[in-house]
């Protein structure tokens, strides 16, 4: 049982569940392989500490690096940025999972920095995005092993957790239409020449799977060139949008 004795405040059970929600994901503007995932808490009773796991349905899709908390998460600008004890643990054999633990005040403390009732962002996660060639992938981020304590550390709040699907369009792939092999933002005949050069080994690679895979077959090959040529001649269908 996860027990935190945080302050000398009187222990009190909470009649309302505390809600933890994963927010919308963005790609770090300075590093297209690093994601920014906000986590929010809505609590109707004061919170003195919490612990939970965040994990992805496919660990090969993203992971947390075990070499330092600053690479994995931060509390900058959050409502717990002045808490006394915070940490993140990544198991080497499960790099897609991170456990976050935060305590408002260490045992015997009386600083009164617990989280008052409200709705706010508690931290931002920073997993590394591995599958950079995939533009139209989504994964479900789950929350598990959640425990939320009152300000005394004697009572655990009931909770509600809201996992969320994460859709990522990283780097140059963002907003590019399917078949736009050179990621110019426009689908035209230059993309045919770009794919031909790539397939002949004389040109650079398409910037992500969606932009090279014009016919949405799951791979990039000569059929994608034929598909685009037929589309531009008006005798074939248009590429479907990237999901």
Q: Which residues lie below 8 Å from residue 155, measured CB to CB, with a gap of 6+?
A: 11, 12, 13, 14, 149
Look at residue 3 in the predicted model and tell me its pLDDT: 35
Residue 132 above 70 pLDDT?
no
Residue with tokens 């995939």: 134
The yes-or-no verdict on residue 135 having pLDDT over 50 is no
One DSSP character per residue, 96-155 reads TEEEEEEESS-TTB-----B-SEEEEEEEE--EE--TT-SS-EEEEEEEEEEEE-TTSS-
Residue 185 lies in a domain: yes
Which among 55, 76, 151, 163 is positioned nearest to 111, based on CA atoms?
A: 151
Amino acid 131: pLDDT: 58
Give the model's pLDDT for residue 31: 72
Say whether 34 sits in a helix, a strand or coil. strand
Q: How confident is the model at residue 5 (pLDDT cuts 50, 70, 90)?
A: very low
- Give a yes or no: residue 4 inside a domain: no
Question: Do residues 122 and 139 share a domain?
Answer: yes
76 with 164, same domain: the answer is: yes
CA–CA separation, 145 vs 218, rounded Å? 36
Q: Tell me what percent of the residues of the chain surpass a pLDDT of 90.
A: 31
Cβ atoms of residues 47 and 149 within 8 Å: yes
In-domain check, residue 80: yes
What total of structural domains would you count in the chain?
A: 2
Render pLDDT for 55-96 as a digit per residue (tens, 0 to 9).
876 666 778 877 655 678 899 889 998 888 888 888 778 888
Whole-number pLDDT of residue 8: 40
Residues in the chain: 243
Q: Looking at the predicted structure, is the pLDDT value of residue 9 above 50?
A: no
């Amino acid at each position: 049982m996860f027990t935190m004795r945080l302050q000398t405040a009187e222990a009190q059970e909470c009649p309302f569940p505390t809600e933890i929600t994963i927010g919308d994901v963005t790609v770090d503007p300075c590093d297209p392989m690093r994601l920014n995932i906000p986590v929010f808490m809505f609590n109707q009773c004061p919170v003195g500490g919490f612990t939970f796991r965040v994990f992805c349905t496919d660990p090969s899709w993203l992971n947390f690096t075990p070499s330092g908390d600053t690479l994995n998460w931060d509390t900058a600008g959050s409502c717990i940025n002045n808490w006394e004890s915070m940490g993140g643990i990544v198991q080497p054999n499960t790099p897609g999972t991170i456990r976050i633990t935060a305590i408002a005040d260490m045992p015997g403390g009386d600083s009164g920095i617990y989280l008052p009732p409200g709705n706010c962002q508690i931290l931002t996660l920073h997993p590394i995005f591995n599958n950079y060639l995939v533009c139209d992938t989504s994964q479900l981020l789950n929350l598990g092993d959640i425990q939320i304590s009152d300000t005394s550390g004697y009572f655990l709040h009931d909770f509600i957790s809201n996992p969320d699907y994460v859709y990522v369009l990283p780097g140059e792939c963002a907003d590019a239409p399917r078949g736009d092999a050179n990621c110019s933002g426009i689908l035209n005949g230059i993309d045919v020449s770009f794919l031909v050069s790539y397939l002949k080994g004389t040109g650079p690679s398409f910037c992500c799977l969606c932009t090279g895979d014009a016919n949405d077959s799951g791979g990039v090959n000569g059929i994608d060139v034929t598909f685009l040529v037929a589309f531009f001649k008006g005798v074939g269908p248009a590429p479907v949008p990237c999901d």
